[in-house]
Structure 1
Amino acid sequence: MNQPELPPRRFPAIMRRRAASFGYAFRGVAAALRSEIHLQFHAVATVVVIGLGFYFRLSWLEWALVALAVGVVLGLELMNTAVEAVVNLVSPEYHPLAGRAKDVAAGAVLVGAVAALVVGLLIFGPRMWALFVA
């Protein structure tokens, strides 16, 4: 009995494309980390926060809130970097709208960073206070 011929499998090609897209994303993060001082600052702050989280033995909920705050700030920093690059590409000379786009993108990072700071103060503040007062 002859088996019907199966169509060629596309799964490996799809997986290669997916893997490549992750590679591009990691390459973008690495490039931004090399060139953006504010992103470097936030990356160092992330390492400090993770260290404090282990030191203070955060609960799962606290870890989730810290991870969300860190992700939001780092994501906004990356978007800000992308906006600045595109604006510089399309408007090498100063233009008020280009300046506004950059300012708004930077403002988004500021809002996210302030929110992350509030989360950090609520989670780590009482623990740090207890360390210094005791």
Structure 2
Amino acid sequence: MNSNSTAPKITPISRIESFRCAFAGIWHTFKTQRNAQIHAVIAVAIGALALALRVSLTEWAILALTTGFVIAAEMLNTATEAAMDFATTEFHPQIKIVKDVAAGAVLISAITAVVVGALILGPPLLNIIFGGFAG
């Protein structure tokens, strides 16, 4: 490594500032984006259901990763839309593609989460509802 590097020195203060900015982005997303709020409510409901059904630690990990995947996709979509709106207020077909692809990523992640949730929570839930016919 070159000791004459021009890379900024990482200090505890700069690291704290990085976290502050990250939390500000998370807060902005949940404060301003209706879909992020919906995802958060669903995540809490899924967590409560997983607790009630006593899913395994591995299943908890899978549910947590899937939930994080959806929230991260929503945040990237929010950032993409903000950047594109900043770039121009006029319609541009390329910007429409960028926004549509970002929104599509959120949809894919949400569909994936529904499938994962159904695979993990469905059998024990059906077992409770129908008394031993599922799973």
Q: Which has the larger radius of gyration?
A: 1
TM-score bracket for this pair, using the shorter chain length: 0.7 to 0.9
1:101 aligns with 2:98: yes
Alignment check: 8 A CA contact 2:53 2:125 kept: no
1:45 aligns with 2:42: yes
1:38-90 CA deviation, whole Å, 9 max, x = no partner? 00000101111111111111111101100110010000000000000000000
The corresponding residue for 2:7 is none
Give the match's secondary structure for 1:99.
helix
Match of 1:29 among 26, 29, 32: 26
What percentage of residue pairs aligned between the two structures are identical? 39
Q: How high is the TM-score relative to the length of structure 2? A: 0.87
1:7-41 CA deviation, whole Å, 9 max, x = no partner? xxxxxx71111111111111111111111000000
- Displacement after TM superposition at 1:131 (Å): 2.1
- Displacement after TM superposition at 1:91 (Å): 1.8
Q: Gaps spanning 5+ residues in structure 1: where? A: 1-12
CA distance in 1, matches of 2:43, 2:20: 22
1:75-124 CA deviation, whole Å, 9 max, x = no partner? 00000000000000002111111111000000001111111111100000
**What amino acid does structure 1 have at the position aligned with 2:100?**
D
Alignment check: 8 A CA contact 2:50 2:60 kept: yes
Q: How many residues align?
A: 122
Q: How high is the TM-score relative to the length of structure 1? A: 0.88
Runs of 4 or more off by more than 6 Å in structure 1? none
Q: Gaps spanning 5+ residues in structure 2: where? A: 1-9
Match of 1:113 among 101, 110, 113: 110
CA distance in 2, matches of 1:46, 1:23: 24
Map 1:1-134 → 2, pairs under 5 A:
14-134=11-131
Q: How large is the Cα RMSD of the aligned pairs?
A: 1.0
**What amino acid does structure 2 have at the position aligned with 1:29?**
I
CA distance in 1, matches of 2:100, 2:11: 39
**What amino acid does structure 2 have at the position aligned with 1:77?**
E
